[in-house]
Amino acid sequence: MRETILALIENADTWTRLRLGTTLGQEGYEVIWVETADDAVSAYRRQHVDLFLLDFGRPLRAAWGDFEHVAVMNPDLPVVLLTEQKTEFERAVGERTGAVLEKPLHIPALIHTIHVLLGKPPREHPARSGSPTGQQRTPHENTV
């Protein structure tokens, strides 16, 4: 059974959704994209969710409200916060967040973090070892 990630990423353009969705799918995860906290709660109630991926790029009060909506339903659900605001780290740790990743998001770091939070052994990822053809990837190929 595939593990499911509930992703609430504000202003996630089509490229970001495609890139993250494809990469996480290749790692064996199913991604449910939602636009609002209410959508996240509805999705959580309809389907089993293993991890919540939440963007803190929008107004801080709204982001914490989204976090609290889902955390109330399952305080043990691992949460990965994406932020541009380094100062949110201490508060996030206090809120039992599984991890805080700074944007721009480094895809291999996200994959590794998800594996760790879900208790899976980290896998060797092409971005860590170079591409299959041996060509080096640019840093921007691994970020969103």
CATH number where 116 lies = 3.40.50.2300
Domain that holds residue 120: 3-142
Question: pLDDT per residue over 131-142, tens digit each?
Answer: 333 333 334 456
- Cβ proximity of 84 and 57 under 8 Å: yes
Nearest to 37 by CA among 82, 71, 12: 71
What does the pLDDT read at residue 93? Answer: 56
Rg over alpha carbons for the chain, rounded to the nearest Å, is 15
What does the pLDDT read at residue 32? Answer: 93
The model carries a pTM of 0.76
- Cβ proximity of 140 and 132 under 8 Å: no
pLDDT at 126 over 60: no
- The one-letter amino acid code at 53 reads L
What does the pLDDT read at residue 92? Answer: 59
Instruction: Tell me the DSSP string of 35-87.
Output: SSHHHHHHHHHHS--SEEEEE--S-HHHHHHHHHHHHHH-TTS-EEEEES-TT
pLDDT at 129 over 50: no
Separation of alpha carbons 27 and 110, rounded Å = 11
Ranges 82-86, 108-112, 132-136: which has the least confidence: 132-136
What does the pLDDT read at residue 15? Answer: 82
What does the pLDDT read at residue 127? Answer: 47
User: Model confidence at 25, in pLDDT bands (50, 70, 90)?
Assistant: very high
Q: How many domains does the chain have?
A: 1
